[in-house]
């Protein structure tokens, strides 16, 4: 059985804690957070602490904190014979400053506090300094999920950047769409089937081949009509994306 400690009190830490607590292959022996109130809901399930000098012995320490805090937090883990990993998509393995072994346990998914996570569908991007530690991380991931990938730090940065475009930026465009719907007293839910169809389509077609719309068709009249409905900030975004679609379309 693999003994683990989770360091952090945010969404990733809490979702991981709930998942690991349900498997018999992993023993979650402790959780740490600077604000111990973040772990209040788990205090009956696992030992919790807000003193990092009181970390118990474990096989793996999982750091699930903000990117900027990873180096500082890892430097305080005085467990030379244990494996310390972080869960960041954009921070290199070498940013870990513990004296012992290092690794990365990155889950390619967006985590929200009140949204249930289906770990079976989440890709686990794993990195370690040697095969033995990689296999240990693979076993850890497979205890709650199914999809694991050996991904180095440079590849992971590229994946994280791509994820920002397809997730964070796309969600902001949903927000703009919602604003436009609200302004014209149209329920945003009317767009839900279209959003779902677009997501399904790119599982069978490349995004390039799946592209449709007035920018793709160079429908100048429709584009101008759209621009007249938008405020200045929305117009700038619309023009920029339209130009990008048209520029890429010429490469086909």
Task: Find, among 139, 145, 50, 53, the residue nearest to 103 by Cα.
Answer: 139
Q: Which of 17-21, 109-113, 230-234, 236-240 has the lowest mean pLDDT?
A: 109-113
pLDDT digits (tens, 9 = 90+) for 22-71: 998 999 999 999 988 888 888 888 999 999 999 999 999 999 999 999 99
Indicate the pairing of strand 83-86 with strand 101-107: parallel
pLDDT digits (tens, 9 = 90+) for 122-173: 999 999 999 999 999 999 999 999 999 999 999 999 999 999 999 999 999 9
pLDDT digits (tens, 9 = 90+) for 189-245: 999 999 999 999 999 999 999 999 999 999 999 999 999 999 999 999 999 999 999
- Tell me whether domains 2-150 and 157-249 share a fold: no
Q: Where are the domains of the chain?
A: 2-150, 157-249
Residue 114, pLDDT score: 74
Residue 165, pLDDT score: 96
CATH topology of domain 157-249: 1.10.1040
Q: Using pLDDT thresholds of 50, 70 and 90, give the confidence band for residue 14.
A: very high
Q: Is residue 100 within 8 Å of residue 44, measured between CB atoms?
A: no
At which residue do the structure tokens 């305080």 appear?
76
| CATH superfamily membership of 2-150 | NAD(P)-binding Rossmann-like Domain (3.40.50.720)
Q: Using pLDDT thresholds of 50, 70 and 90, give the confidence band for residue 113.
A: confident
Distance CA 164, CA 242 (A): 19
Look up the pTM and report it: 0.85
At which residue do the structure tokens 């990938």 appear?
149
Question: Would you state the structure tokens that stand for residue 119, as one six-digit string?
Answer: 């770990």
Distance CA 114, CA 151 (A): 29
């Amino acid at each position: 059985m693999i003994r683990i400690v989770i360091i952090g009190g945010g969404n990733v830490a809490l979702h991981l804690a709930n998942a690991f607590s349900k498997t018999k292959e992993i023993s979650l022996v402790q959780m740490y957070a600077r604000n111990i109130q973040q772990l209040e809901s788990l205090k009956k399930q696992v030992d919790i602490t807000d003193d990092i000098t009181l970390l118990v012995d474990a096989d793996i320490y999982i750091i699930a904190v903000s990117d900027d805090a990873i180096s500082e937090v890892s430097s305080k883990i005085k467990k030379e014979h244990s494996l310390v990993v972080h869960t960041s998509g954009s921070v290199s393995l070498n940013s870990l400053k513990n004296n012992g072994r290092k690794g990365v346990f990155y889950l390619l998914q967006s985590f929200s506090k009140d949204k249930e996570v289906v770990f079976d569908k989440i890709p686990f991007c794993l990195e370690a300094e040697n095969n033995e530690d990689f296999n240990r991380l693979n076993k850890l991931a497979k205890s709650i999920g199914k999809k694991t990938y050996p991904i180095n730090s440079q590849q992971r940065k590229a994946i994280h950047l791509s994820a920002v475009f397809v997730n964070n930026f796309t969600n902001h465009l949903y927000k703009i769409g919602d604003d436009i719907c609200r302004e014209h007293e149209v329920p945003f839910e009317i767009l839900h089937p279209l959003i779902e169809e677009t997501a399904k389509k790119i599982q069978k077609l490349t995004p390039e081949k799946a592209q449709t719309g007035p920018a793709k068709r160079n429908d100048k009249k429709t584009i101008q009509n759209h621009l007249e409905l938008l405020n200045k900030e929305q117009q700038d975004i619309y023009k920029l994306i339209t130009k990008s679609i048209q520029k890429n379309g010429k490469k086909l």
